[in-house]
Structure 1
Amino acid sequence: MRSSALRAPEPGPEAPARRHDGERPVDLVHLSRQCFGDKRLETELLRLFVRQARQIQAGLEAEVGDDSVSCLPASELLHTLVGSARVVGAHRVAGLAERHEAALRARPEAVLGEADRAGMRAAVEEACTYIGGLLDA
């Protein structure tokens, strides 16, 4: 990151400024409150979120893998993602993950379907791409 302040990236293919519903993929006001205005902490949390969200997404996509994350049940991966997304203000990711987690916990034999995985994939990628634009700005 070139400057010490996080700014919303300019609209473009790498980091859309707003989604169709008008909400940004990451609520920067929420993040600032969580970090008490500490820009370095904001940056660190965003970096951690990107790394963790991508690991969790890989775990959700994996049938069986040797990565420790993919060995966890999908409901636990989603639970972790909910908390991580809430901290940084990735509300769409948190909401989807929470909904899928609840559905999986309600029916232990249930699995995350392809449409649900695709929706999570899109939400995680949108948030990570947005964050990448923030950190590169």
Structure 2
Amino acid sequence: MGQAVIKAGHPVFSSPAGESHMEARSRPVDLVHLARQTGGNRNLEEEVLQMFLRQAHKLTREMAQDCDCEARKLAAHNLKGAARAVGAFNVANCADDLENNPSEVSYVSTLTAEVNTTCDYISSLLR
């Protein structure tokens, strides 16, 4: 994972090729947001992302099981908060949909797919 420093007027985490802000926002995790949340501390960023990975996998498993709507709603709410904290806004939006419609099984699959995409991306950053 690149360090959160601003060089020559480029946004934090911009690529050497001059990636635009919109391209950076299309990533599964908004790295600029994450850097702000952690004060640019790379070790803290890695620790927070690792905690998110563990929590996202645990909560996704809980939501996929045949659980009651209240348990699914609580798990979605917890995942939404964790996702917003690290800048995984697509996950947060999907979790919000499920939290508001806990009996809608299709939202579980959509959220699970988004969590998998985001966790794969985070894992690639942590290598």
Question: Per-residue deviation at 1:116?
Answer: 1.4
- Report the TM-score when normalising by structure 2: 0.77
Contact 2:77/2:95 (8 A) holds in 1? yes
Question: Per-residue deviation at 1:121?
Answer: 0.9
Question: Per-residue deviation at 1:54?
Answer: 0.3
Residues 91-121 of structure 1: per-residue CA shift (max 9 Å, x gap): 00001101221233xxxxxx131x2111011
- Which residue of 1 is the match for residue 98 of structure 2? 100
Instruction: Return the letter of the residue paired with 2:104.
Output: L
Question: Per-residue deviation at 1:5?
Answer: 3.4
CA RMSD of aligned residues (A): 2.6
Structure number with higher relative contact order (C-alpha < 8 Å, ≥ 6 residues apart)? 1
Question: Per-residue deviation at 1:124?
Answer: 0.2
- Which residue of 1 is the match for residue 7 of structure 2? none
Question: Per-residue deviation at 1:4?
Answer: 7.5
Instruction: Return the letter of the residue paired with 1:33.
Output: R
Structure 1 alignment gaps of length 5 or more: 9-21, 65-69, 105-110
Contact 1:4/1:40 (8 A) holds in 2? no
Instruction: Return the letter of the residue paired with 1:35.
Output: T
Contact 2:95/2:111 (8 A) holds in 1? yes
